[in-house]
Homo-oligomer: A and B are copies of this chain.
């Protein structure tokens, strides 16, 4: 099948006609991307872009090893998990092997939303309670049960507010949030303690690093303290690692390890299949047994041999190419570079991150920490013109979001810093 290429305008007209309008395009002048390789995307006009924002194509766009694993298995067999297959056995063994005890039972699904949906069902089966404590600005997925506990969605445009069984605690944001300074972690954990005491939840659920909330790294002590109070009240702790798992944080394979906790339920998605629709839940035997109520959990595509082959290839590549350590090194280099920019550019209010999960707050007044979404938008567009793909996030839309494929190199990092320097410099001149 070779399609006759359509012009960007033709494609936009088709999208307007045949796609739901609440699926927006990136950029006012959207890009027609036709090829990906490693950390780069290529537009139809041949222009190369450094992809700083795709946290799905984790080991690099179109990694040959992953593509080959997919091709080979697609040629041999693609069927469901009701037959015995080596790929499934190997994959759950490998995946469980990356997790600390007692996390050892896997459920293979197709999307992060399916994983988080299932996590809620597991927690509820185990505790008998539907009540849940979540972080403000959290996003956990697009099903009804997930939207109604995701403040990022249900408290924004078109939302119907938080479900009665959900309660939010302040996002543990040490830069802009209500608690700052050295004891911010324990003070945010006290907020969880308060919510837990009032609501007796069955689950405390949080992304280990907060994505849509603005690329937040919760302060030290937050997760240890929160998990402790949640468990003391009989709740299970769900770590949503859909965005942040698989070595992105550099120091560890899983972000929760970097925060010194062992969750009861972990959800995985996005990078797990380098773009192939794959996701997973890993939990304890105790919780898995509580879920075994006599009702089958069968997922048509989940755990098929092709998905498992691809998942295995991703694990192999992370390991063999040392991508976790590389994420640590590149993340440090990029954050150092951006912090040095902050010395010259008042617009950068904060640079934070772990490994290659990085956020930079743009502000109009550094002392007041006034969010500056307009500048963030300008920077995104100007960086695009220079060949760098970024986006913004956070409740004030002023946080530059950086979460590239892990394979970017020194030159990419230095080029990014230099381009940002130029863009911010020109902005300052223009004022």
Contact = CB atoms under 8 A, between A and B. Distances in A.
A316 B1 contact: yes
Interface in A1-59: 1, 3, 5-6, 8, 10-12, 14-15, 17-26, 30-36, 41, 54, 56-57
Interface stretch (A141-149, A197-205, A332-340): A141-149
A77 B3 contact: no
A296 interface: yes
Nearest to A104: B18
Interface string A68-91: 011100111111111111111110
A70 B61 contact: no
B74 A297 contact: no
B112 A113 contact: no
Interface stretch (A151-159, A352-360, A421-429): A151-159
A interface SS class: mixed
Interface stretch (A177-185, A249-257, A284-292): A284-292
Contacts of A90: 3, 6
B62 A74 contact: yes
Interface stretch (A305-313, A341-349, A396-404): A305-313
B18 A82 contact: no
A134 interface: no
Q: Which of A75, A301, A316 has the most CB of B within 10 A?
A: A301
Given A67-B71, A145-B144, A23 B110 contact: no
Interface residues of A, number: 111
Contact of A74 (B67, B75, B114): B67
A297 B157 CA distance: 12
A277 B75 CA distance: 16
A105 to B, nearest CB: 6
Contacts of A145: 143-145
A146 to B, nearest CB: 9
A236 to B, nearest CB: 15
Contact of A121 (B33, B70, B144, B294): B144
B25 A78 contact: no
B110 A111 contact: yes
Contact of A114 (B111, B303, B309): B111
A85 B11 contact: yes
A300 B112 contact: yes
A265 to B, nearest CB: 12
Contacts of A57: 78-79
A30 to B, nearest CB: 5
A304 interface: yes
B296 A10 contact: no
Contacts of A89: 6, 10-11, 14-15
Given A18-B105, A114-B111, A275 B23 contact: no
Given A6-B89, A54-B79, A86-B11, A295 B111 contact: no
A181 B6 CA distance: 54
Given A24-B296, A30-B84, A62-B74, 20 more contacts: A1-B69, A14-B92, A14-B93, A18-B92, A19-B88, A19-B105, A21-B289, A22-B294, A33-B77, A34-B76, A34-B85, A79-B275, A110-B114, A110-B301, A120-B144, A121-B144, A143-B144, A144-B145, A157-B294, A276-B306
Closest 3 CB pairs of A and B: A158-B293, A157-B294, A158-B295
10 contacts: A14-B89, A18-B95, A23-B297, A24-B82, A34-B76, A67-B75, A111-B111, A118-B142, A121-B144, A270-B300
